[in-house]
Amino acid sequence: MQIKACLFDLDGVIVDTAKYHFIAWKEMAAGLGFDFTEKENELLKGVSRMRSLDILLEIGKITKTGEEKLRLAEQKNQRYLEYVNQMTEEEILPGVAKFIDDLRSNGVLIALGSASKNAPLIMERIHLAEKFDAIVDGNSVTKAKPDPEVFLKCAELLKVKPHECVVFEDAQAGIEAALNGGMKVIGVGSPENLSLADYLIPGFKKLDYELLSKWYK
């Protein structure tokens, strides 16, 4: 198979914003009177903001009205943005920029497929947008991962077929989204939650186009 495009998740793959999401949700849980652990945070990875809030409230066994939930989600986002607004390109995870350059010089198209509504702001802060041929984020999709919509939209914009795409994901919901879309998928991070991926990498430092081509020849 020839790899025509690589589709990257943002949070936890290109930058470690998962830690900022976690801090903001943990603070909110504390304010509501319960503890929220790092293990429970795994359930929120790749999941939309409102769905994340629902999961958090379920963990705390708390019921809120629709209006209160909108207010809480906005409050969480404001706290999260305090961290995002301080981000620079130094926060791009090791090896990511070099790997993307290597892919581009081998003619591979690059897209972002993120659930985050803050993705455009983050991409601007880390100065990476110009390397991407397409950006699809939480503002332009209606169905959240594990639905494949976000990645299928990327393929459509790039004019490539799903089976010609390799997705990079750190979350189970994202891995399932890629598989549901008929794409190849590489899990980034620790093996516990990523068992469905074709391959697992701890990060991008040791990955290049040549190795990727061997994996998917």
133 part of the active site = no
- Regarding 11 and contact with ligand BG6 (CB under 6 A), the answer is yes
Interacting residues with ligand BG6 between 18 and 37 (CB under 6 A): 21
Q: How many residues does the chain have?
A: 217
| Closer to ligand BG6 by Cβ: residue 73 or 166 | 73
Phi-psi label, residue 12: left if phi above 0, alpha if psi -120 to 50, beta otherwise: left
Bridge-partner residues for 112, per DSSP? 8, 135
Which positions ≥6 away from 2 have C-beta within 8 Å?
Answer: 164
Q: Give the C-alpha separation, 199 to 195, whole Å.
A: 9
- Regarding 176 and contact with Mg ion (CB under 5 A), the answer is no
- Regarding 44 and contact with ligand BG6 (CB under 6 A), the answer is yes
Query: How many residues belong to the site for Mg ion (CB under 5 A)?
Result: 6
Interacting residues with Mg ion between 5 and 64 (CB under 5 A): 9, 11-12, 46
Which pair of structure tokens corresponds to residue 16? 């470690």
Return the one option of ligand BG6, Mg ion, none that residue 48 interacts with (CB less than 5 to 8 A, by type).
ligand BG6
| Closer to ligand BG6 by Cβ: residue 11 or 164 | 11
| Closer to ligand BG6 by Cβ: residue 88 or 105 | 88
Phi-psi label, residue 46: left if phi above 0, alpha if psi -120 to 50, beta otherwise: left
- Regarding 116 and contact with ligand BG6 (CB under 6 A), the answer is yes
Q: Give the C-alpha separation, 131 to 52, whole Å.
A: 30
Question: What residues are labeled active site?
Answer: 9, 11
